Structure 1
Amino acid sequence: MHQDKKRVVVGLSGGVDSSVAAYLLKEKGYEVIGLFMKNWHDESVTISNECPWVEDSTDAMLVAQNLGIPFQAIDLSEEYRIRIVDYMFSEYKAGRTPNPDILCNREIKFDIFLKAAMKLKADFVATGHYCQKDQVESDGKITYRLLAGADANKDQSYFLCQLNQEQLAKALFPIGHLQKSEVREIARRLDLITADKKDSQGLCFIGKVRLPEFLQQQLQPIKGKIVAVPASSPIYINKGIPAGISPEDFDQEVLREICLPATYKENDGEIVGTHNGAHYFTIGQRKGLNVGGTGKPLFVIATDTRENIIYTGLGEEHPGLLRLGLFVKSEDIHWVRPDKALSIGETARYMARIRYRQPLSRATLIRKEEGLYVLFDKPQRGIAAGQFVAWYEGNEAIGSGTIS
């Protein structure tokens, strides 16, 4: 190993996970370089007196010193603004709910950052993600598998569900086999400054920013109506799965009825209040509606950013909150395992989730010309356009897609 040391560039974020990842790689005999990504420094947007990236950058540098590895910072803020921040604004403006963490991994860490690492003649890039990878060989061809982290409570495979084979080939996840407690223990033993640092909250690399405040930078408040739709509304009559037919035999009309979101009009319910902008809200949200006297809590069941109306339903079991299916357009389907891609007309059974740390649910995937229909065995709460659905076989992420 030592005569031909493999070079790894570690994304040192200034947190405990990437710190320990760098240490473990060094222990294994890799030549390790620490690289800090500066992804945001537009002070007008943070609306906070704290400057998280300066502190994080310093911590990352101190960790590199402690471990005796070279360290440099790289400014990716322009790419980050274009690929993540502008995208988020446009998605929220259109009434969708993007996942910046998944995008950050696909567009920044495993694309721009990966290319920067390759310029440093790296063989691999490594991150402090709680996930694992291995490989299978068939007919002399290697296929990489993206696996859940050993710590079920911290598994981050969902955030990496948009990675492709080329990206996985170059990726290392040194802490994926460990529990979070073990990672902290290693950091304490090494006396790393990040050992007891809290896990970062907030947007991927933007730091301590609350989303509504962040959105208000570009999306101006506009007063609009809050409409409460009764659970007995005729809109929900056909939303169930027909009895006695198996999902692969459903025609397109039935699939669309189950998997596409309901469309609402103002007269489908009664006006119960006002809001400051439909683009600030997402499906399943209950905070920030400020409508009193309803008994049960109100939940957002749909947003119409064109008409600036928020549709709500009363109580957690409201049929507008629960859906049995979702749809992914053809161009938005991504296979981590391209060898398992479904052809048009094929169906498969997988476990799926629509958000981080959500327990996996059994689902049938049906591939049609226009895209992929995902039918769950049990209704899912708060399916929102713009989010990602990821499907798994056991603990392996097989594919993912953007929900329409």
Structure 2
Amino acid sequence: MKRVIIGLSGGVDSSVAAYLLKQQGYEVIGLFMKNWHDDSVTISNECPWLDDSNDAMLVADKLGIPFQTVDLSEQYKERIVDYMFNEYEKGRTPNPDVLCNREIKFDVFMKIALDLGADYVATGHYCRKGTIEKDGKEVYQLLAGVDGNKDQSYFLCQLSQEQLAKSLFPIGELTKPEVRAIAAEQDLVTADKKDSQGLCFIGKVKLPDFLQQQLKPKEGEIVEIPKDVAIFSETEPNFDSEEEKLKYLSRKIQYSKSQGKVVGKHQGAHYFTKGQRKGLAVGGTVEPLFVIDTDVEENIIYTGQGKSHPGLLKKALFVSNDELHWVREDLVLKTDETMTVKARIRYRQPLESATLHKVEGGMYVAFENYQSAITEGQFVAWYLNDELVGSGVIS
């Protein structure tokens, strides 16, 4: 019997994943990750991880599998929380869920599991793993989950071949309603439990409140940039090369206060992110205001009216070499090579047609259509059909 250690989070997905593994004849062990107990940073008055670990224990008990809790809070603080603060201070917007999978679940947690003699690590993610033979070698594929509404392949976009080799995703072939139905049939305590909205394995976190406890508030101005400002109607210059054009299309527009008008105050530019609409507390505009850029040096938030404001829209982005990652190492592009893909820049976004252009210093992702709020620090992931083949941090 192959031994599988599953990350039991106290949610319905991992509960059903554990049940299915047991049905498939694996020796299953449930492990709950405790990722937080720093009371100096109060996250919320509730203590969700206690309830979650309790639910995970009840599920393990019901399924008749061994269960224990591992404390990874030190590594979590170091690798996720400190990184997030650092990114926010730089005016970038990190994605903690992608990082948690790369750094915690499929690294720290996986090492613990392998030390406990596990052949595989399993999670309750809605995605699938494929295996193909190429040049006499086994190559692992990260495939989208069957439930298009729940597909979580994007969150795993930083996984490597080594990590995939040791991973199992038991519910990837199922839809959410099917998963809930199995949990109800098996009388699992998590059958009707709502999906968690917080940071992975920590629970309810109000990110701005959490950050504000560490990043000191600093009053600054909210500036509205009109749609018809000259910077948006420049005629595109002539380019000597495709790379020059891509550099132009993905450039960061530099705004200044003189281009617009001050419409309000804020408590710190580093609390805001591109495309954000809530929390500006500025009324009286015809269309709602959206953040089109933040300047953390000058502590200014630049905004524009409406979803179609030109400050929100771009057709290309850049990923530098050191933040470029290929799940499929056999498909890595060499300088000057291109690849036609489907790509997304955030979790719930439908896949968009794009072309990858590899250049000396990194890679451009050029979209067929305009994308809204391409945000530095977030991840872009690219797919061939339903296979996620690579990703990178938007720079």
TM range (shorter): over 0.9
Q: Does 1:353 align with 2:344?
A: yes
Find the partner of 1:227 among 205, 212, 223: 223
- Structure 1 match to 2:28: 32
- Structure 2 match to 1:131: 127
Find the partner of 2:12 among 11, 16, 39: 16
Alignment of 1:158-169 (within 5 A): 158-169=154-165
Alpha-carbon spacing, 1:220–1:239, altered in 2? closer, same or farther (3 Å): farther
Note the C-alpha offset of 1:93. 0.9
In structure 1, distance between residues paired with 2:235 and 2:88: 26
Percent of pairs identical after alignment? 66
Q: Does 1:177 align with 2:168?
A: no
SS in structure 2 at match of 1:300: strand
Q: Does 1:211 align with 2:207?
A: yes
Note the C-alpha offset of 1:252. 3.3
Render the CA deviation track for 1:291-333: whole Å, top value 9, x for unaligned.
Answer: 1111111110000111100011111111001111110001111
- Structure 2 match to 1:375: 366
Alignment of 1:274-285 (within 5 A): 274-285=265-276
In structure 2, distance between residues paired with 1:239 and 1:11: 54
Q: Does 1:258 align with 2:254?
A: no
Q: Does 1:343 align with 2:334?
A: yes
Find the partner of 2:305 among 296, 306, 314: 314
Mapped contact 2:43–2:204 kept (Cα < 8 A):
no
Which 5+ residue runs of structure 2 have no aligned equivalent? Answer: none
Mapped contact 2:34–2:202 kept (Cα < 8 A):
no
In structure 1, distance between residues paired with 2:229 and 2:391: 33
- Structure 2 match to 1:323: 314
In structure 2, distance between residues paired with 1:237 and 1:255: 18
**TM-score, normalising length: structure 1:** 0.95
1:74 maps to a residue whose letter is V
Alignment of 1:46-195 (within 5 A): 46-195=42-191
Alpha-carbon spacing, 1:238–1:391, altered in 2? closer, same or farther (3 Å): farther
2:131 maps to a residue whose letter is Q
Render the CA deviation track for 1:25-62: whole Å, top value 9, x for unaligned.
Answer: 01111000000000011233234221000000010011
SS in structure 2 at match of 1:58: helix
Question: Which segment is superposed worse, 225-234 or 15-24?
Answer: 225-234
Question: Which segment is superposed worse, 304-313 or 287-296?
Answer: 287-296
Render the CA deviation track for 1:363-401: whole Å, top value 9, x for unaligned.
Answer: 011000011111100000011000000000110001000
In structure 2, distance between residues paired with 1:292 and 1:220: 26
**What stretches of structure 1 move > 4 A for 4+ residues in a row?**
238-242
Question: Which segment is superposed worse, 201-210 or 22-31?
Answer: 201-210
SS in structure 1 at match of 2:193: coil
2:244 maps to a residue whose letter is E
**TM-score, normalising length: structure 2:** 0.98
Note the C-alpha offset of 1:266. 2.1
Mapped contact 1:367–1:373 kept (Cα < 8 A):
yes
Q: Does 1:394 align with 2:382?
A: no
Alpha-carbon spacing, 1:155–1:97, altered in 2? closer, same or farther (3 Å): same
SS in structure 1 at match of 2:68: strand
In structure 2, distance between residues paired with 1:102 and 1:219: 22
Mapped contact 1:241–1:258 kept (Cα < 8 A):
no
SS in structure 2 at match of 1:45: coil
Mapped contact 1:240–1:258 kept (Cα < 8 A):
no
SS in structure 1 at match of 2:45: coil
SS in structure 1 at match of 2:303: strand
SS in structure 2 at match of 1:61: helix
Question: Which segment is superposed worse, 346-355 or 230-239?
Answer: 230-239
In structure 1, distance between residues paired with 2:46 and 2:40: 12
Mapped contact 2:343–2:352 kept (Cα < 8 A):
yes
Q: Does 1:333 align with 2:324?
A: yes
Find the partner of 1:294 among 257, 261, 285: 285
Which 5+ residue runs of structure 1 have no aligned equivalent? Answer: none
1:35 maps to a residue whose letter is L
Render the CA deviation track for 1:65-112: whole Å, top value 9, x for unaligned.
Answer: 000000010000000000000001111111101000000000000000
Alpha-carbon spacing, 1:93–1:274, altered in 2? closer, same or farther (3 Å): same
1:385 maps to a residue whose letter is E
SS in structure 1 at match of 2:17: helix
Give the root-mean-square deviation of aligned CA atoms.
Answer: 1.4
Render the CA deviation track for 1:339-371: whole Å, top value 9, x for unaligned.
Answer: 111100101110000000200000011000011
SS in structure 2 at match of 1:363: strand
Alpha-carbon spacing, 1:241–1:114, altered in 2? closer, same or farther (3 Å): farther
Render the CA deviation track for 1:128-186: whole Å, top value 9, x for unaligned.
Answer: 00000011102210100000000000000000000000000000000000010111111
